[in-house]
Amino acid sequence: MNIPEPEAFAKIIYPPDNPTTEEGLALGRALFFDPLLSADSTVSCSTCHLPELAFTDRQPISVGINGRLGRRNAPGLTNVGYLHQTLFWDGRADNLETQALHPVADPNEMGGSWQLMISKLRRHPVYWPQFERAFGLKELSELNPDYVGKALAQYQRSLISSDSKYDRVQRGEATFTEEEALGNAIFFDLADEPNAGKYAEIPTGECAHCHIPPHFTNQLFSNNGLDEANSLDDFKDPGRGPISGSKYDNGKFRVPSLRNVALTGPYMHDGRFNSLKEVVDHYDAGGKYAENKDPNIIPLGLSPDQHRALVAFLQTLTDTSFVSQGVRESESQGVR
Amino acid sequence: MKYLSLLAFPLMFLFAGCMDDDDSVTGGEVATTVNFRAEYDDADLSIQSIAYDYPTGAKLKTTLFQYYVSDLELLPAAGGAAVRLADIDLIRYQSETDGSVTSRTYNVPVGDYVGLRFGLGVKPDLNAMDPNEFSADFVLNEVQFWNANARYVFAKIEANADLEDDGTFDTGLTYHLGSDAMYTTITFTGDFTISTTANPELNIVADVFKALASDTESFDISNPDQQRIHGMNQAIGQDIWTRLAGQFELQIR
């Protein structure tokens, strides 16, 4: 199955053992919106990844079954199929196929067990035939968690956004307002350009060292100065460190994509910032001390107008057609 | 531009002197490893975990060192076309867990060689190409872009410095370098033989300290205007770039 992709993006890397098929995509979509995957059938993937919020949930920390609080903020899924490096805030999953396996068995998310879940799916009158068709399974015993992960990955790779105002400006189909253009200039450090013109004297936002187009992430890990830490053991949430095995990675988190960022608040791994204004306030102040803070995080010296302009630019990354498509898909699954 | 290190010369000649005549014949390929070694003042570079002395009295902890290599080639003794090992590669040290050596293995025709060369940075024809023309996992899609519409940052050195000797590494140093004009071909001359019986270890060594300082002068990291070199101030960056390009060594063991 050939899913159309924007010219501006390097193509999605489809795993050889999990090409997207119509049957697999339909199965993945159905599973994504179905609370069946949770222990008590109350929580689906879409509980924390709501299409109308660019697949986030507006919660600082996501809430799982029985009201249990999760560990971190639900990341958006816009263009997640393009992110071929590690996933989760701490990078503990290597790809979408393995990422999808985590929430089902997490006691604070879907709270189930894979053994019971597979047993349920094998007996299911609708899903088992879908697995048969999608993956050519012949025997019930062949159905294992990997196929659930593959189906969910196929759906997530279909979540492609390329029609934000930012994209349309890049294609010459729209123009930024003066305020958005100023925000664009701050975001991309145009004051550093040899021919900066009217932007020569504005601050550089230093944003695009990490949040670089087209997906507005470098897929790497960074300490962006959220918490002061005189010792690298002081971070309340060590983030990447326990995964990499290095204390020098404590306090680092995966750089999130900013596509649809106006819809994905509250922000940061713990949802501490309620608005984009608060996010810009944080970066404008230069972040808090830790010896592994990213050295690109420095005080910016934004004026109020420049502050507003940066927020206005971030709002141009909203793709309403992408959101609408996701909502329609959820409705087609009977979620609404 | 610097050539083979003093250490490398005797090792190289010792090795070359032991070669059997049969080793000079060509035909067939041998898996040959090129190690890209990172150092700070002649010691293995450690990301974040070591506070390094800087000549001005400051200390610094390196957080990132990376550079692009274009057209990595071996120069055959018999002349003729160079043996291309790689069109483009990104050598990166960004985590303590990365270690100080990044290794690449290439299939190399057996034979005698008189040198190795590479371009430091992204060669102009690739630097003119958009990343969407490459696979998403290609090294030119590691999002090392100047901005949305300008292309690749050739090299980065980033560190946090303790300028006041108070134990806090609270001054960020970010040196982002590169432009077509800066692209530099680095050539090492020296004889070595790739054979099925004796395969030399090729080590390309880059020293972060030597990119910033020398015995006689040091880049002034206490000057706020020289703590952040990005886009427009490449004139200042040229100084670091020249040092960076000039300090590479090839060690053959």
B49 touches chain A (CB under 8 A): yes
Average pLDDT in the B228-239 region?
80
Residues A85-96 as b/e (b if ≥16 CB within 10 A, e otherwise) read: ebbbbbbbbebb
Q: Are A168 and A303 in contact (CB under 8 A)?
A: no
Q: Domain extents for chain B?
A: 8-252
Query: Contact B169/A218, CB-based, under 8 Å?
Result: no
Q: Assess whether A178 and A272 both reside in one domain.
A: yes
Kindly tell me the burial class for residue A7, based on how many C-beta atoms sit within 10 Å of its own C-beta (0-12, 13-18, 19 or more).
exposed
* Residues in contact with A16: Cβ distance below 8 Å, sequence separation at least 6, in sequence order: none
Q: Assess whether A106 and A201 both reside in one domain.
A: no
Domain assignment of residue A216, given as a range: 165-318
Closest residue in chain B to residue A194, using alpha carbons only: B232
Q: Assess whether A96 and A54 both reside in one domain.
A: yes
Domain membership flag for residue A4 = no
Q: Assess whether A179 and A126 both reside in one domain.
A: no
Distance CA A230, CA B23 (A): 58
Tens of pLDDT, residue by residue over B19-36, are 333 334 346 899 999 999
Query: Contact B132/A214, CB-based, under 8 Å?
Result: yes
Query: Contact A295/B96, CB-based, under 8 Å?
Result: no
Average pLDDT in the B152-174 region?
96
Q: Which of A9, A194, A212 sits opposite B143 (nearest CB)?
A: A212
Structure token digits, residue B34: 């090129």
Tens of pLDDT, residue by residue over A175-210, are 999 999 999 999 999 998 888 899 999 999 999 999
- In chain A, at which residue ranges do the beta strands (DSSP E only) sit? 221-222, 253-254
The confidence score (pLDDT) of residue A322 equals: 97
Q: Complex ipTM, two decimals?
A: 0.91
Domain count, chain A: 2
The confidence score (pLDDT) of residue B233 equals: 67
Q: Assess whether A180 and A312 both reside in one domain.
A: yes
Q: Assess whether A58 and A175 both reside in one domain.
A: no
Average pLDDT in the A235-251 region?
96
Domain membership flag for residue A49 = yes
A31 alpha carbon, distance to own chain's centre: 19
User: What's the CATH code of the domain at A255?
Assistant: 1.10.760.10
Q: Assess whether A278 and A145 both reside in one domain.
A: no
Chain A residues within 8 A of B95 when measuring between CB atoms: 244, 246, 248-249
The confidence score (pLDDT) of residue B73 equals: 98
The confidence score (pLDDT) of residue B198 equals: 76
Contact pairs from chain A to chain B, CB under 8 Å: 99
Query: Contact A193/B232, CB-based, under 8 Å?
Result: yes
Task: Provide the pLDDT confidence category of residue B6 given band limits of 50, 70 and 90.
Answer: very low
Q: Assess whether A222 and A263 both reside in one domain.
A: yes
Query: Contact A294/B63, CB-based, under 8 Å?
Result: yes
Distance CA A112, CA A105 (A): 5
Average pLDDT in the A240-253 region?
96
Tens of pLDDT, residue by residue over A156-178, are 999 999 999 999 999 999 999 99
What's the gap in Å between the CA of A200 and the closest CA on chain B? Answer: 10
